[in-house]
Structure 1
Amino acid sequence: MAFGTAPVPLWPLYEQRDGFGATTVTVAFAILVVGASAGFVVLGHLSDHLGRRRVVVPALGVALVAALVLAFWTDLAGLLAGRLLNGVAIGLMASTATAYLHDLYRQEHPDRARSRLPGLVATTANLGGLALGPLIAGMIARWAPHPLTVTQVGFAAAMALCLVMAVSTPETVDRRAGAARPRRFALRPGAGALFGSASALGFFSFALFGLVSSLGAIILRSSLGISSPLVAGVAPFAMFIASAVAQLVLGRFGAAATAAVGTIAFPWGWAWRRCPCTSRRCGCSCSPCRWPEPEPERCSRPASRGPVRAPWTARGPGCWPCTSWPGTSAWDFRRSCSASW
């Protein structure tokens, strides 16, 4: 999962290297989704017949090849091919790894067959991986040379390590004879309304995920004047970490309660992002959707302000964004306070 979201802060660098625009970025992101969908629908059921490890190991191998393709095939065709292979690997791993965790836990703890721990571990691993991918890539792009190559080589090494660990893990499913055909999808009687509402919520949530993952860094650069890959990695990291924490905290209350909270929080968060607000502390606008001209003198640190230092400001120790002070209500990532990221 981390490998899949790693390019989020790197898209502007790919644009510069290969000379394409935002439309091609969305295509490169969509190709991963196509590969993941194909791997999940067409091949995801194979672990029930062939065994969990016999699917996880090839999936890691495909991901390893994808990382090497992205690292050393340095043009647009290589980017698209690597993203497609990455998607296929995600599709193979998405359901198989979760089922593998459940099987291994039940083998070790047969008296805890109904435990929720494997599900919590799988949720944390999935969302935590989605969060760490852009953060790691953003840090590499900020401080390491040749970030496009170093990022992919680093993930290739991590994939090779996971491959070795998977090979040494015991199999939990005996190979079954007969054709391995996908099971037919069907809803339980009376579950149509619940399935429809959950599908709609998931659709809009992952649509936002797709927007942030494909165009987030480009929006930061073109609309807000923030070109730092570290900021572009921190933004999706915060979103996915919040998702993981929400799953862990709200999961104990059941699926219906969790879905209700998500249904309320999703439009509220989107509306908060769009509505202007003003901080009275320093007299400068903190609106997420209105970006005034830089006013360094209004965001510089008076002697009366607290001791908190903002290391990510353009003017170094002297420039303080509004959110460094108590009582402010929104992030002020303005051009005057963000250039050094």
Structure 2
Amino acid sequence: MQHVTPATSLGSRDTRLRLAFVSAVVSLVAVFAAVGSTIPLFNIYRAEDGLTTAGISLTLVAYSAATLSTLLVLGRVSNHVGRRPTAIVSLGLLVLGCLLLLNVHDLGILLAGRFLMGLGAGLASSSLTAYIVDAAPTRPTWLASVASSQTVMLGLAVGAIASGALVQFGPWPRNFIYLIVVGLLLLSAALVAISSDTVTPAPGGWRSLRPSVRVPVRVRHLLPVAAAVFLATWATGAFYQTLVPALVEDQLHTNSPLVLGLVFAAYMGPSALGAPLGSRFPPATAQRIGMIAFLAGWIGVITAITTGALLLFIATTIVAGAAQGIAISAATRGLLYDSRLTDRAPIFAVVYLLSYSGATIPSLISAQLSSVFSVPHITLGYGALALIATLLTVIAARNPHAGTISQPSE
């Protein structure tokens, strides 16, 4: 395994390293704010451009397929070329995606824009999250895992709320949010450019492009439960992106873009609040608590959809969102246990491969089923997935082993 030499003493925690941490966090928020900004516009695209629920689901598939491909091929490249250049390229891809979405008039343009966003988000998912962990302060001890896992959710929530507000009340409802996000992405790139890198360039970059899935042996036993957590929670996030716009309009009787953004944020935003709560418990215990609460939230969501109760829907969505924060951060904390600098980008590549698989596969299935079953019926399938993941977590959750040798497993 190629070793990476720290470019800055991680023990000193000097001003430049703190700047790197802040820059990486701001950049990851910007990346996923860009991703979330499209969601409140989906109903406008449906109404004005004739897009269908199946077509909207395919946009998530295009986004996730690009992300998965990038993670498989480029998930380790920041170990060799550095965190900064990899992060700047990812931000550039998101800028291109936003610029393309300024001219959405058919499904093809929307698919292409989301595909570019997927490429950028995939590259950012491994490089920026590893950058955050590299540069994070040592105290509090939970900060690295919470910041790296929950900044994504925070960015999605911020992007959805800002987009919903600007679409409903701002000028140029189809475009203004993308211009704002482009500015945020360019600011993030500037911050990263003036920050110190946490790795120095090292040979082996071309070899790192060989598709690989790798985690250290000492945490390999944690992968089945972590996979269940990531798959179920990210499948739910995809549900809120692709099917909830139609549900909010058809079942809950509102077509407000701001309400749509708030509903999506009600799932993503509380995740960042739930994550520190889970840090009070060992990873296995926190995952069990999080997934049981997540299932309870899902039961409430299905009840709200059945009865058409918008307030109940939002309240139980908040419960599910906070619960996913507890479970996701605990799973991430377990996988990062005692990790070396060279472990982190591959670990996050695996985390996001599992996560985006959870977002992609159910979305692809639901897109095919949407012509046969109603959205409320498809919702029951997502609830069943949450039940299966919760049962597996309760039965099989384990803590990381201490004192084992850090060796990769392919």
TM-score past 0.5 threshold = yes
State the secondary structure of the residue aligned to 1:162.
helix
Q: 2:203 aligns with which of 155, 171, 177?
A: 177
Q: Is the 8 A contact 1:35 1:84 kept in 2?
A: yes
Distance 2:113 2:161 in 1: 20
**Counterpart in the other structure of 1:144:** 170
State the secondary structure of the residue aligned to 2:116.
helix
Distance 1:177 1:190 in 2: 27
Q: Deviations over 1:29-74 (max 9, x none)?
A: 1111111111112112100011000100111111111111111354
Q: Is the 8 A contact 2:153 2:268 kept in 1?
A: yes
Q: 1:236 aligns with which of 245, 253, 264?
A: 264
Q: Is the 8 A contact 1:46 1:180 kept in 2?
A: no
**Counterpart in the other structure of 1:98:** 129
**Counterpart in the other structure of 1:289:** 306
* Alpha-carbon distance, 1:78 to partner: 1.7
2:235 paired with 1:207: yes
TM-score by length of 1: 0.75
- What amino acid is the match of 2:167? A
Gaps of 5+ in 2: 1-31, 318-410
**Counterpart in the other structure of 1:54:** 85
Gaps of 5+ in 1: 276-286, 293-320, 324-328, 332-341
* Alpha-carbon distance, 1:166 to partner: 1.4
- What amino acid is the match of 1:102? V
The runs of at least 4 aligned residues of structure 1 exceeding 6 Å deviation read none
Distance 2:159 2:142 in 1: 26
State the secondary structure of the residue aligned to 1:211.
helix
TM-score by length of 2: 0.63
Going from structure 1 to structure 2, the CA distance change for 1:144 and 1:184 (only over 3 Å counts) comes to: closer
Distance 1:55 1:330 in 2: 38
2:148 paired with 1:117: no
Distance 1:9 1:90 in 2: 19
**Counterpart in the other structure of 2:244:** 216
Q: Is the 8 A contact 1:11 1:218 kept in 2?
A: no
- Give me the identity figure in percent: 25
Going from structure 1 to structure 2, the CA distance change for 1:322 and 1:184 (only over 3 Å counts) comes to: closer
Going from structure 1 to structure 2, the CA distance change for 1:50 and 1:263 (only over 3 Å counts) comes to: same
Q: Is the 8 A contact 1:8 1:216 kept in 2?
A: no
**Counterpart in the other structure of 2:6:** none
- What amino acid is the match of 2:195? T
Alpha carbon RMSD of aligned pairs, Å?
A: 2.6
Q: Deviations over 1:177-220 (max 9, x none)?
A: 2333255536737954x422221232121111111111211111
* Alpha-carbon distance, 1:291 to partner: 4.1
Distance 1:104 1:187 in 2: 21
Q: Is the 8 A contact 1:56 1:97 kept in 2?
A: yes
**Counterpart in the other structure of 1:264:** 292
Q: 2:182 aligns with which of 132, 138, 156?
A: 156
* Alpha-carbon distance, 1:114 to partner: 9.2
Query: Which segment drifts farther, 91-100 or 73-82?
Result: 73-82
